[in-house]
Structure 1
Amino acid sequence: MITIVSAGDARGGAPDPTGAGGSVRGSDYAVLSRQVKRAGLLARRPGYYGVKAATNLLFLAAGWTAFVLVGPSWWQLAVAAFLAAAFTQTAFLGHDAGHQQISGSKRVNALLGRLHGNLLVGLGYGWWVAKHNRHHAHPNRVGRDPDIGTGAIAFTRENAQARGVPGVWLARRQAWLFFPMLLLEGFHLHLAGVRALFGHGATSRANARGRTRLVEGGLLLVHAAGYLTVLFWVLAPAQAVGFLLLQQGLFGLYLGCSFAPNHKGMPIFGREHKADFLRRQVLTARDIRGGRITDFVLGGLNYQIEHHLFPSMPRPNLRRAQALVRAFCAHHDIAYCETSLPRSYAQVLRHLHAVGGPVRPELEY
């Protein structure tokens, strides 16, 4: 069980001598940042992203071409699995655009993000960027990080206990149900993006940006209309529904399995916790060991510590930055978590099981 870290426990057990990040501790990140900049690791990589975007478009084109050629057949389920992977890789590019990794121009990044997110995948880019930025600012902090807020999964014992009957039932079994529930993540992301644009969750500030909402909403509509039209035009109704459920389910599972190892099961900070930026980002994140294949499969999210320290760093530079960051953390006695992908999932499931402990029957607990 990863307990909530209280104020003053910035180093996971050893008190932070500066509390809120004074001049000594606050300068650590500046020193590391200068090392990273001198190594040229913040420089844009337009060539890499040009090839990456072109390759993703080829994958999508190949998938939809195969879909048309196969026609009304249950073999389309294999095409659905391929397109689920292609959608996830496309979403990774939208993620990079949202962090300003691709271009030095915010407009270009926003355009690429909306094309890859809203149009090609059907995810609300603006909603996701706002939510994800809050997560980056306060990772694993109770009441500030939306990724550990109220939802289907409980990430703290307090959250597990402050639930109604259905929530308690789910919290008791959430470790067993976690991966099956990820099959619904794609549907959840689609609906959340739409609600943010058109539902009662849209803020007055968002309403003032009517043109942006119109563009994003239009792209989502084009995606949904094109996707559903192609499915039900080519396939029999039962096949179309089966294709949709499998493709979107595997898309959510793949996306969820890529993000799950990053912070879940790592220390959670209380509402009043104070820590400098460097320790706040490093202590709450986890890197995943692996080679180039892991980099590709996880979209660079396996370098989560480096990504949180330097969100605008282009994806291909994260591997090179890892050695610098790891050595810097060792020199400053900052815990740097790195493990294999299977062990990261085991840590996540142990954490979720422990969180649900207080709401399980006494004999089971």
Structure 2
Amino acid sequence: MAITNVAVYAHLSPSDIESLGRELDEIRGDIEERRGTRDARYIRRTIALQRTLDAASRLTIALSRGRLGWLLGTAGLATAKSIENMEIGHNVGHGQWDWMNDPEIRSSTWEWDMAGLSSQWRYSHNFRHHFYTNVLGMDDDIGFGVIRVTTDQPWRPRFLLQPLQNLFLAATFEWGIALHDLYSEQDRAETPAARTAETRALIRKVVRQTGKDYVLLPVLSGRRWRRTLTANVTANLARNLWAYLVIFCGHFPDGAEKFTPEALEHETKADWYLRQMLGSANFDAGPALAFLSGNLCYQIEHHLFPDLPSNRYAEIAVRVRALCDKYDIPYTTGSLPRQYFQTWRLINELALPDRDPASVVPESEPPAPGTADQRIFSGIVSSSCNTRTASAVADSSSSPELARTTSRTRITRRS
């Protein structure tokens, strides 16, 4: 169930939320004050590493003769593409490095190595997704328009195919994102001519991208064109699967909440902070895995501060988690396999028609997959057989005692 009154759901008073907002502003101010040479050196070294790895991998593919050389080169190329998309393209596109005033490393000029157009992505992602995070009907990233990820989305017979659609989206993720961003741009276009211009802009980018990967580079390989072509196809597939895994694990595991449009009424900056914390999910990662994920293993911190340098998220996370403990707010995290298992389970469960919400589920059975609030509500319904109680919680008109009950239920799910 989507949340309407975020404050009541989080059992926080208005003064609590404003205090939380001030402490998060202090974190932002501290990082902004201290960012400098260390951060600039980090992104420049990352770009140099990615380009070196890309070039070395392509040379390995082209010059080696055996299968091992092809495998090593292709793995290196897939890694280079992942770094470019996740740690560089995504984060540069958020404006995390605009403060450097580097003409190359700027959100307005960086074009990444994938099918989608950066300018279209910046509107769809930076504004539509990050401002309206998980708000039904306003954040197009809730299932990306093809996957049902909450019971608030009405079931349709076509969702029976979503387990297969999920696999297809994973394999073609860059293309799904490209179309997703195009549709978002077309929605805000005021004239047919503007919509046509956006379509043509994407087509030009697709021609350049596919021409490079699947025509130019294979042709330059001469008689070994098949070796280069299959390496590029495989590397792009691996990059798509990895990007899909990271993004889905940050948005759809249990605990990543959804919100109604009414939740935005009179929303302050502090309220927005709280909604980001409740609507995002992390996964546990060491330095290497964090780097390969674009530091999006810290999805909560990224949604709080999308324009702060990604190399700072690890230290920010320590402070954000302490605030979650202080204000008794869930900090949703877990291992990468665990977070994806929850996501996969949710996608497969919601492919089927919804069960009767008034049916009683025996306590011996494991809870149905879904976000934390759905489990809370199903537990309330199971114990009382009264669907009006669950509706009251969703509408945030329940009693303080019931709010405290839901709070205690959530606490047990922290990892």
Give the TM bin, normalised by the shorter chain: 0.7 to 0.9
Q: C-alpha separation between the residues in 1 aligned to 2:247 and 2:48?
A: 24
Q: C-alpha separation between the residues in 1 aligned to 2:282 and 2:250?
A: 7
Q: Does 1:312 align with 2:302?
A: no
Matching of residues 51-90 of structure 1 within 5 Å: 51-70=45-64, 76=70, 79-90=73-84
Secondary structure of the residue aligned to 1:294 is helix
1:105 Cα offset (Å): 5.9
Distance 1:62 1:239, change over 3 A: closer
Distance 1:222 1:337, change over 3 A: same
1:186 Cα offset (Å): 2.6
Tell me which of 306, 321, 324 is aligned to 1:326. Answer: 321
Given that residues 282 and 300 in structure 2 are in contact (C-alpha distance below 8 angstroms), is that contact kept between their aligned partners in structure 1?
A: yes
Number of the residue aligned with 2:141? 147
Which moves more between the two structures, 40-49 or 276-285?
A: 40-49
Q: C-alpha separation between the residues in 1 aligned to 2:193 and 2:99?
A: 27
- TM-score, L = length of structure 1: 0.79
Tell me which of 184, 189, 208 is aligned to 2:177. Answer: 189
Tell me which of 150, 153, 159 is aligned to 1:159. Answer: 153
Tell me which of 218, 226, 242 is aligned to 1:231. Answer: 218
Number of the residue aligned with 2:380? none
Q: C-alpha separation between the residues in 2 aligned to 1:73 and 1:232?
A: 20
Q: In structure 1, list runs of 5 or more residues that go unmatched.
A: none
What number of residue pairs does the alignment pair up? 343
Q: Deviations over 1:66-95 (max 9, x none)?
A: 233247989646533432221111012011
1:350 Cα offset (Å): 2.3
1:42 Cα offset (Å): 6.3
Given that residues 249 and 281 in structure 2 are in contact (C-alpha distance below 8 angstroms), is that contact kept between their aligned partners in structure 1?
A: yes
Matching of residues 19-34 of structure 1 within 5 Å: 25-34=17-26
Tell me which of 258, 273, 280 is aligned to 1:268. Answer: 258
Q: C-alpha separation between the residues in 1 aligned to 2:285 and 2:16?
A: 34
Q: C-alpha separation between the residues in 2 aligned to 1:335 and 1:317?
A: 22
Q: Superposition RMSD on alpha carbons, in Å?
A: 3.7
Number of the residue aligned with 1:356? 351
Tell me which of 101, 115, 124 is aligned to 2:96. Answer: 101
Given that residues 93 and 122 in structure 2 are in contact (C-alpha distance below 8 angstroms), is that contact kept between their aligned partners in structure 1?
A: yes
Number of the residue aligned with 1:170? 161
Given that residues 160 and 355 in structure 1 are in contact (C-alpha distance below 8 angstroms), is that contact kept between their aligned partners in structure 2?
A: no
1:251 Cα offset (Å): 1.7
Q: C-alpha separation between the residues in 2 aligned to 1:334 and 1:217?
A: 45
Given that residues 125 and 193 in structure 1 are in contact (C-alpha distance below 8 angstroms), is that contact kept between their aligned partners in structure 2?
A: no
Number of the residue aligned with 1:127? 120
Q: Say which structure, 1 or 2, has more relative contact order (CA 8 Å, 6+ apart).
A: 1
1:204 Cα offset (Å): 4.5
Identity %: 23
Tell me which of 12, 35, 48 is aligned to 1:43. Answer: 35
Q: C-alpha separation between the residues in 2 aligned to 1:269 and 1:302?
A: 22
Q: C-alpha separation between the residues in 1 aligned to 2:10 and 2:188?
A: 42
